[in-house]
Structure 1
Amino acid sequence: MKHSAIAGLFIAGALLASPVFAADKDLCAGNLQVIKDFVTSQPSIPETSLSNVKTAQEDAMKAQAAGDDGKCVEITNGMITKMQIRNPTRN
């Protein structure tokens, strides 16, 4: 329970700390980097979880390439939330 609360606070703080004027483009790129770092730093991720993360990463990159930064942020925020819940020690 403690880890879930900490993860939730981390995510909420990250979202609220972002300046209101920050572009979705920057948030999209930053979130994609967080996901990339997570994948490269977690060699023991179960294959199904890794597949889910990579699928979300690919979908977000497609949205970014299509210029839909809002969709990219939506996808990456959801995946980062899941990553925090599954691995609460990484804040």
Structure 2
Amino acid sequence: MKHSAIAGLFIAAAMLASPVFAADKDLCAGNIQQINDFVDSAPSLPEGTMDTVKAALTKAKASQAAGNDKDCVEVTSGIITKMQIRNPTRN
């Protein structure tokens, strides 16, 4: 009886953890797309600022390719926050 209860807990934990990883993957891809859209329709920004955005985008894509979605989300979320501060009318 104890073994089946413990096994059940491990199975439940594994099932609950799976959506979190999928959410990071989706958020990473969505954030990258949002940054790509921003770069493509770039408002007049200083060259240094645009270089920073492009460097972060490159780093995020490398993290995504390496399967490190958590780092990708951290990088892209930081850049999106900065983009919103510089241009608050865009979402």
Which TM-score applies when normalising by structure 2?
A: 0.74
In terms of Rg, which structure is larger? 2
Shift of 1:56: 0.3
Alpha-carbon separation, structure 1, partners of 2:20 and 2:73:
14
Q: Who is 2:16 aligned against?
A: none
Matched, 1:65 2:29: no
Matched, 1:50 2:62: no
Percent identity between matched residues is: 67
Q: Quickly say closer, same or farther: Cα 1:21–1:28, change in 2 above 3 A.
A: closer
Of structures 1 and 2, the one with the larger relative CO (CA 8 A, separation 6+) is 1
The structure whose residues are more often helix, as a share, is 2
Q: Who is 2:88 aligned against?
A: 88
Q: Who is 1:27 aligned against?
A: 27
Give the partner amino acid of 1:88. P
Alpha-carbon separation, structure 1, partners of 2:39 and 2:83:
10
| Aligned structure 1 segments of 4 or more residues deviating by more than 6 angstroms | none
State the number of aligned residues. 73
Which TM-score applies when normalising by structure 1?
A: 0.74
RMSD, aligned α-carbons: 1.7
Structure 2's unaligned 5+ residue stretches are: 1-18
